[in-house]
């Protein structure tokens, strides 16, 4: 296993994977860059799906934070949609709203719940359509983890579940500069069979088919077997 990354995205769009800090001031330079990359007004959909089990108050917190953040950045429009369970993820009207956007943002929460809620749904098909037409799909924390090949699932034992696999052979670990001990202990096991992609706070790994870069104040660490290397904004990533 080497450190070479590759992406399998359904189109020419841009996938942005953030370590932490969604909708907060530290992410403004990164999100402004993503909006500028579009070359047209950003029509943003914020999806609080990963927090779907945390109650209405927490969901509304993420919705309000996302709307205010992208309004400050000058987005053409911003909506936060109530895609919080399998029923809403298969709602045709919500999926249609997602498909008309050009910038989708998944905020944090539970990665396993997020993947299981979205897999095979109408909303997920609409998210992929945004990438197919050259838009931006961003995910922070849990919203980033679902794009690797596997997701660490439990604190109690070494267990992985399938994810969407946009970055094959990878496990994505957000909050890498403040990683909980149980995930730090998993790394020697993970790197036997996967590339670990560790993304620090206020930092984004930007992925396209055949192209990777780091944006933000921190770094992205790639680790596989006995190899480990940290990359910052301006560095060239291996692919």
| Residues paired with 104 in a beta bridge | 45, 137
**Which token pair is 140?**
């922070």
Least confident residue range of 29-38, 51-60, 180-189, 228-237:
180-189
pTM of the model: 0.95
pLDDT in tens, 130-164: 999 999 999 999 999 999 999 987 655 568 999 99
pLDDT digits (tens, 9 = 90+) for 25-71: 999 999 999 999 999 999 999 999 999 999 999 999 999 999 999 99
214 DSSP β-pair partners: 205
DSSP 212: E
CB atoms within 10 A of CB 24: 13
φ, ψ for residue 77 (rounded to 5)?
A: -160, 155
**Residue holding tokens 């402004």?**
32
How many angstroms separate the CA atoms of 89 and 185, rounded? 34
202, two tokens: 């206020």
* Strands 103-106 vs 43-47: parallel, antiparallel or unpaired: parallel
The structure tokens listed for 23 are: 């909708």
Give the per-residue pLDDT at 155. Answer: 58
What pLDDT score was predicted for residue 156? Answer: 56
Position 180 scores a pLDDT of: 76
Strands (E), the chain: 14-18, 43-47, 77-80, 103-106, 136-140, 148-152, 160-162, 167-173, 195-199, 203-208, 211-216, 219-224, 227-232
Task: Please give the backbone phi and psi of residue 101, each rounded to the nearest 5 degrees, phi first.
Answer: -85, 170
Domains and CATH numbers, the chain: 14-230 (3.40.50.880)
């Amino acid at each position: 296993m080497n450190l070479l990354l590759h992406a399998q995205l359904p189109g020419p769009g841009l996938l942005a994977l953030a370590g932490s800090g969604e909708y907060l001031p530290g992410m403004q330079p990164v999100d402004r860059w993503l909006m500028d990359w579009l070359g047209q007004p950003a029509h943003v959909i914020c999806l609080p799906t990963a927090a779907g089990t945390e109650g209405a108050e927490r969901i509304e917190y993420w919705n309000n934070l996302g709307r205010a953040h992208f309004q400050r950045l000058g987005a053409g429009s911003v909506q936060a949609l109530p895609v919080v369970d399998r029923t809403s993820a298969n709602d045709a009207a919500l999926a249609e709203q997602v498909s008309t956007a050009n910038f989708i943002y998944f905020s944090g929460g539970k990665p396993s719940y997020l993947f299981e809620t979205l897999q095979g749904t109408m909303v997920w098909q609409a998210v992929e359509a945004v990438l197919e037409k050259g838009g931006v799909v961003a995910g922070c924390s849990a919203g980033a983890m679902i794009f690797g090949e596997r997701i660490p699932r439990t604190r109690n034992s070494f267990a992985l579940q399938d994810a969407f696999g946009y970055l094959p052979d990878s496990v994505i670990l957000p909050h890498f500069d403040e990683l909980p001990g149980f995930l730090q202990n998993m790394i020697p096991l993970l790197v036997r069979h996967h590339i670990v992609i560790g993304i620090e706070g206020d930092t984004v790994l930007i992925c396209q088919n055949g192209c990777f870069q780091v944006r933000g104040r921190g770094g992205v660490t790639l680790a596989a077997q006995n190899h480990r290397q940290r990359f910052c904004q301006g560095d060239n990533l291996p692919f």
